[in-house]
Amino acid sequence: MHPIFQLPNGIKFVHKQVDSPISHIGVLVNAGTRDEEEKDVGLAHFVEHTLFKGTEKRDARQIFRYIENLGGDMNASTSKEETYLHASFLTPDLKKITELLSDIFFNATFPEKELEKEKTIIIEEINYYKDTPTELIFDDFETLIFDQHPLGRNILGTKKGVKQLTRNHILNFIKNNYSADNVVISFVGATPLNRVKEIVSHYFGNVNLPENQRVRTPFQQYHPQTVKKNKNNSQAHLVMGNIAYSIQDDKKNHLLLLSNLLGGQGSNTRLNMEIREKRGWAYSVESFYTPLSDSGLFTIYLGCDHSMVNKSIEVIHKEFKKLREKKLGEMQLHYAKKQFLGQLAISNEQKINEMLALGRSALFFDEIETLEEAIQAFEAITADQLLDVANEILLPDNFSYLSYQKD
């Protein structure tokens, strides 16, 4: 297990030493779209954008010029439950980059002029998504499946909503959500633990953050729904899905493996072979599993000709039925694990992904698995366990369906 350390003010810190000239450090906050007020949809994402727009000693241009002059790269993202700020840089510049991230995180001033410019940028981002059905349909599907719950809120918000957001909205959101026990600093690089801990403690450990008083409402009222939206796209788009296990559930790994077998990254997945390769009905068919803190979502995406949607759904249901009724054979299970674990190891070779994964684990768990421990956990999965999960999750009557199709 990778140990999780705690800074003097309560912020968590996780470190992994690797032999590389490039280091990666991130600030991960357990706060996202589900933590907004209903009237402030899009606020978490707006906060992430505007953190970079100036501090007490740097304006926006100076922030980006500083890191780029060091040959580094900085980015951020927002999800339903988390906000990430992270940087990749040449290892000797750790102290400078950590100071910059600390300045942004603790001392952002959110100047009004910059806020107005950023609203325009986010509105253009919303326009982009509206013109990109492969992106938009996932947002619409989550709104459908998490009906009337904060998890169903669109991360970007709406044009009208973004326009009404103010500096006070930002400050209140940070006050209510950026508490010490909701923040993790994650580092992957060549610098030894004691030196990284010293630098991180200096820049992040001495600032007091408010106590966490937030209460998240769990999602419990799932009702399967089927919605067809008339869209004049050249291709039909479908997302179908079911509520699944939370990140804390022991069956999480089982569903990750099952999802990868059905429609993961490989070209030899069951759905890709049956729908695309065997029949030529679709350009893209993929499955996804997203575990959340107290819920989860399993989905399948299909992009195909409008006339092939229903036939493709029938094939998907047949593949579900096979997995519910027949255990994987010994060799099938072996190769399913081999493929998934190879993908996991390749992803970890991209150290920025490993840094974010370590940080995210620290947000939710007291200990963090090493790659070797994760491999052991997946190797221990049995065919009986996968059969049980298939019979809990892959039930067509429990699925919701959203399609963009021509009438």
Helix axes of 43-50 and 112-130: crossing angle, nearest 10 degrees: 120
Task: Answer yes or no: are the C-beta atoms of 74 and 64 closer than 8 Å.
Answer: yes
pLDDT at residue 34 in the model: 96
Confirm whether 4-204 and 226-405 share one CATH topology: yes
Task: Answer yes or no: are the C-beta atoms of 300 and 396 closer than 8 Å.
Answer: no
- Of residues 407 and 166, more confidence is placed in 166
- Percentage, residues of the chain above pLDDT 90: 90
Task: Answer yes or no: are the C-beta atoms of 202 and 163 closer than 8 Å.
Answer: no
pLDDT at residue 24 in the model: 98
Other C-beta atoms closer than 10 Å to the C-beta of 16 total 19
When pLDDT is averaged across residues 369-387 and rounded to a whole number, the result is 93
Distance CA 42, CA 38 (A): 10
When pLDDT is averaged across residues 42-62 and rounded to a whole number, the result is 96
Is residue 348 predicted with pLDDT exceeding 90?
Answer: no
Question: Residue ranges of the domains in the chain?
Answer: 4-204, 226-405
**371 falls in which pLDDT band (50, 70, 90)?**
confident
- 48-57 as b/e, with b when 16 or more CB fall inside 10 Å? bbbbbbbbee
Read off φ and ψ for residue 356, nearest 5 degrees: -65, -40
Is residue 332 predicted with pLDDT exceeding 80?
Answer: yes
When pLDDT is averaged across residues 183-212 and rounded to a whole number, the result is 94
Read off φ and ψ for residue 300, nearest 5 degrees: -125, 130
The CATH classification number of 226-405 equals 3.30.830.10
**353 falls in which pLDDT band (50, 70, 90)?**
very high
pLDDT at residue 389 in the model: 98
- Percentage, residues of the chain above pLDDT 70: 100
Other C-beta atoms closer than 10 Å to the C-beta of 241 total 26
What is the average pLDDT value for the chain, to the nearest integer? 95
Is residue 301 predicted with pLDDT exceeding 90?
Answer: yes
When pLDDT is averaged across residues 320-328 and rounded to a whole number, the result is 97
Is residue 233 predicted with pLDDT exceeding 90?
Answer: no
**360 falls in which pLDDT band (50, 70, 90)?**
very high
Is residue 310 predicted with pLDDT exceeding 80?
Answer: yes
Which are the contacts of 362, defined by CB distance < 8 A and separation ≥ 6? 4, 12, 14, 28, 184, 186, 368
Other C-beta atoms closer than 10 Å to the C-beta of 370 total 12
Is residue 3 predicted with pLDDT exceeding 90?
Answer: no
Distance CA 105, CA 102 (A): 5
Q: Point out which residues pair with 290 in neighbouring strands.
A: 297
User: Tens of pLDDT along 8-49?
Assistant: 999 999 999 999 999 999 999 999 999 999 899 999 999 999
Is residue 1 predicted with pLDDT exceeding 80?
Answer: no
Tell me yes or no: is domain 4-204 CATH 3.40.50.300: no
Read off φ and ψ for residue 35, nearest 5 degrees: -95, 5
User: Tens of pLDDT along 98-122?
Assistant: 999 999 999 999 999 999 999 999 9
Is residue 213 predicted with pLDDT exceeding 80?
Answer: no
**367 falls in which pLDDT band (50, 70, 90)?**
confident
